[in-house]
Structure 1
Amino acid sequence: MSSLFGALHTAVSGLSAQSTAFGNISDNVANSQTVGYKRTDTNFTDYLTTSTAVTNDSGFVAATPDYRNDVQGTIASSDNATALAISGNGFFQVTSASTNTTNQEVLGTTTQYTRDGNFTMDKNGYLVNDAGEAVNGWAADSSGVVNQTTMAPLKVDQSAFQPKATSSVTLSANLPATPSTTDAQSSQVNVYDAQGTLHTLALSWTPDTTASNTWNLSVSEDGSTTPIGTSTVTFNDGSVAGQPAGTIESVTPDSGGLTTGGTGSAAVLNVPLAGGGQSIALNLGTFNKSDGLTQFAGTAYTLNSATQDGIPPGAFSGISTQSNGNIVANYDNGQSRTIGQVPIVQFANPDALQKQDGQVYTATAQSGPATIKTAGSNGAGNLVTSATEGSNVDIASEFTKLIVAQRAYSANTKMITTADDMLQQTIDMKR
């Protein structure tokens, strides 16, 4: 009789175990399209009642979850420019974000981990994923230098880009050795003051008819007919060793506010802008070298390039991500600035992380402590930009498991009905 009752007990535990497996399968199938979802398989464990060399009483079976957090899903490209996917080991560290009764964003205090990197910028500037979790990272200072000592939710500063006054202009051009005209030959370069206001410097070159290999430079600002100043630039004729023909021999300010500048062999003129307070170093190259302004063969003035280091103000236009985890703010003046970096967090036993709502996990004693690393370093996974990681659920495999669970459940119900029939037959023996 004990074996019959034991068989009933065992079969009931089998029903419970297969129900648990069915629940895990159902959860997996339902989340087969959830970004960053990790499937849960089922382990079955046999527990004994009595087992000796001569006796084996039926026991029962228990189902326990088998988390597959370390199995990567398929990485697919996304039209979301701020989406990130981890290829390899690791997780994103995130903090829950919610809205209070006054419509203000409130960040949670619990640190969590996820593979859902479908990040977008919310109304307060935080980068949050599909579940509303704000990604944590290392913040960068105003110059874009990342501080890797403190992790916090990354918030995008959407203020305007601070303008930078022009401090230097670098000219690369060739004045003709045999000019076809004695008229002034001009080029212009745009520069900026401290407020980001655009100014135009006009550089006019006129050949000196009284001295060979000599040109007169006149610098004016914003179309003014009164120049800021003038200077004489003389080129080598090649008669002196170490002074190649066509390279700058001397630069001599003649009138106005132009002064010589630079150090060593640099051919530099200091040009003060109107209103005072700002002087621009006009870099003509290096004395006795052909790395800037030259006088070589030709009949016309040739401007190769005129660059300056000033930056106009710019309005925030959006953000982008880089494969090293950098979050970059972009501005409509063509400038960009790194505002933070997203690292990768690893665990010794990621399958032991505790699942929470929203495809996130919390650390446990069995998972080990979190180790924070730069993407792609020391075994950490690489980041793929404009991409998301799909669920690691295989629908075909789940349906196979479903068939097995269904058949096992049916078999256990058959065991119960058979044990019931046998008990009924035992009871009928007394009649």
Structure 2
Amino acid sequence: MLRSLYSAISGLKNHQVKMDVIGNNIANVNTTGFKRSRVTFSTMLSQTMKGAGSPSANQGGTNPAQIGLGSMLSSIDQIMTEGSSQSTGKNTDMMIQGKGFFVLQNNGETVYSRAGAFTQDNDGTLVEPGTGAKVMGYMYGVERMVDDSTTTDVDESKIDWTQLEAIRFNIGENPPLVTPAAISIPRDAWAKSGDSWVYSNPSLIGATATITGGGTLDSARGTITVPPTGTDPTLSTTAYNTFTITNHDAKYADGTDIPLATLSSFSIDSKGAITGVYSNGDASATRIIGQVAVANFANEAGLQNLGNSFYAASNNSGAASIAGAGEDGRGAIIPSTVEMSNVDLSQEFTDMIVTQRGFQANSRVITVSDSLLQELIDLKRG
């Protein structure tokens, strides 16, 4: 059987794959954050008809004679160049200018994306609107959520860079309550009331004594006997109803008289820091809510495409290095802007024409090879 048939078939298959990739690129020409792909081919095995000959003193060397057996798919590469920017005017939209990916949590799995068209859900969490995946970042120190019907204290600790969590915008409405303290009063408090009595035994030698009240004196023994006229002492206690109180539901305030504020607006800077403005209008009500996390990879093209504009780390992408925007080579955040697809239609149409001609040429090889086989069959008839 003619080798040209199989070589042409491999060419048809490969050009069909390339056409599939071009079609996907064109289909996503307006997809936010989309990265186009390209296809490369390589040669298949070659059949050696004659090996190479070494040169000698009397004869020159000869090159090998080989017949190729077609082409094969070498790679499908993602071109991770930055797309053009598109201003949206929506304050939850973001674009990374430079390297890096947004970090999201989708159904408990960490994924990455260049598409920064985000919105808020009912809980005030920043999410990807199509899937509900939560945008991850470093939140301002918030310990718990409380009822907004009481005065509470807002903790002003710094951002915790060790904990990656979903970004929420409504923390200004329910700031954390100062931890209630247990009030303890000791019980069984006793006090005694009475006089101190001192008995002394002085020397009686050479002394005179007057006995009244019916007492007797024994001069031989040197003793005096006096009948007691007192009464037995009494012991009394007074109960003060003391006890211990432990109140774990106590609420108290330690701050200013500024009323509870709600988050009225927010802004995002180039480092991804989200600053909230509170409704009470006081200058001190401006607070940093958190910072958007940006992931970087040693090999961005090695990321695995999951669909929904999500990527996952692979064996060849390297582990994600996550930090704030603008750090260690990471790109800056452009707020109220999204990154468009990096598909160039003029390039895609040119590639499509070349691919179409390549497919046609391989089809013609099959047609001509079939004609040759038909000629061989007709030889018998002749």
Q: TM-score, normalised by structure 2?
A: 0.67
User: Structure 1: how far apart are the matches of 2:274 and 2:157?
Assistant: 10
Q: Tell me the secondary structure at the aligned position of residue 146 of structure 1.
A: coil
1:39 correspondence with 2:52: no
Task: State whether residues 44 and 64 of structure 1, in contact with CA within 8 Å, keep that contact through their aligned partners in structure 2.
Answer: yes
Q: Tell me the secondary structure at the aligned position of residue 430 of structure 1.
A: helix
Counterpart in the other structure of 1:84: 94
Deviation at 1:45, TM superposition (A): 1.5
Deviation at 1:329, TM superposition (A): 3.2
The residue type paired with residue 89 of structure 1 is K
Deviation at 1:317, TM superposition (A): 2.4
The residue type paired with residue 326 of structure 1 is A
Counterpart in the other structure of 2:262: 315
Counterpart in the other structure of 2:73: 63
Counterpart in the other structure of 1:332: 279
Counterpart in the other structure of 1:119: 118
Aligned match for 1:151, one of 142, 153, 164: 164
Task: State whether residues 163 and 314 of structure 1, in contact with CA within 8 Å, keep that contact through their aligned partners in structure 2.
Answer: no
Q: TM-score, normalised by structure 1?
A: 0.60
Counterpart in the other structure of 1:160: 173
Q: Tell me the secondary structure at the aligned position of residue 34 of structure 1.
A: coil
Structure number with greater Rg is 2
Q: Per-residue CA shift, 1:208-233, capped at 9, x if unaligned? A: xxxxxxxxxxxxxxxxxxxxxxxxxx
Which is richer in strand? 1
The residue type paired with residue 110 of structure 1 is E
Q: Per-residue CA shift, 1:102-158, capped at 9, x if unaligned? A: xxxxxx122111101111111232211244332111111142621111212223335
User: Structure 2: how far apart are the matches of 1:38 and 1:367?
Assistant: 16
Task: State whether residues 139 and 290 of structure 2, in contact with CA within 8 Å, keep that contact through their aligned partners in structure 1.
Answer: yes
Q: Tell me the secondary structure at the aligned position of residue 138 of structure 2.
A: strand
Deviation at 1:386, TM superposition (A): 1.1
The residue type paired with residue 85 of structure 1 is M
User: Structure 2: how far apart are the matches of 1:144 and 1:388?
Assistant: 32
Q: Per-residue CA shift, 1:90-111, capped at 9, x if unaligned? A: 1111111xxxxxxxxxxx1221
**Which deviates more, 152-161 or 36-45?**
152-161
- Structure number with higher relative contact order (C-alpha < 8 Å, ≥ 6 residues apart): 2
Task: State whether residues 144 and 338 of structure 1, in contact with CA within 8 Å, keep that contact through their aligned partners in structure 2.
Answer: no
Task: State whether residues 123 and 170 of structure 2, in contact with CA within 8 Å, keep that contact through their aligned partners in structure 1.
Answer: no
Deviation at 1:64, TM superposition (A): 4.6
User: Structure 1: how far apart are the matches of 2:134 and 2:160?
Assistant: 19
User: Structure 1: how far apart are the matches of 2:254 and 2:44?
Assistant: 86
Deviation at 1:341, TM superposition (A): 0.9
The residue type paired with residue 84 of structure 2 is T
User: Structure 2: how far apart are the matches of 1:405 and 1:379?
Assistant: 38
1:321-360 matches, cutoff 5 A? 321-334=268-281, 335-360=285-310
Task: State whether residues 36 and 80 of structure 2, in contact with CA within 8 Å, keep that contact through their aligned partners in structure 1.
Answer: no
Counterpart in the other structure of 2:103: 93
Deviation at 1:323, TM superposition (A): 1.6
Counterpart in the other structure of 2:26: 29
Counterpart in the other structure of 2:7: 10
User: Structure 1: how far apart are the matches of 2:319 and 2:172?
Assistant: 37
Deviation at 1:50, TM superposition (A): 1.8
Give the 3 Å change call, closer, same or farther, for CA 7–144 of structure 1 in structure 2. farther
Unaligned runs of 5+ in 2: 52-63, 142-154, 178-251
Q: Tell me the secondary structure at the aligned position of residue 160 of structure 2.
A: strand
Q: Per-residue CA shift, 1:23-54, capped at 9, x if unaligned? A: 11111111111111111111112111423535
Task: State whether residues 77 and 301 of structure 2, in contact with CA within 8 Å, keep that contact through their aligned partners in structure 1.
Answer: yes
1:3-402 matches, cutoff 5 A? 4=2, 6-51=3-48, 53=51, 54-96=64-106, 108-132=107-131, 133-141=133-141, 142-143=155-156, 145-158=158-171, 160=173, 311-334=258-281, 335-402=285-352
User: Structure 2: how far apart are the matches of 1:278 and 1:325?
Assistant: 32
Give the 3 Å change call, closer, same or farther, for CA 382–161 of structure 1 in structure 2. same
Give the 3 Å change call, closer, same or farther, for CA 48–330 of structure 1 in structure 2. same
In the comparison of the two structures, how many residue pairs are matched? Answer: 277
Unaligned runs of 5+ in 1: 97-107, 165-276, 281-308
Task: State whether residues 81 and 320 of structure 1, in contact with CA within 8 Å, keep that contact through their aligned partners in structure 2.
Answer: yes
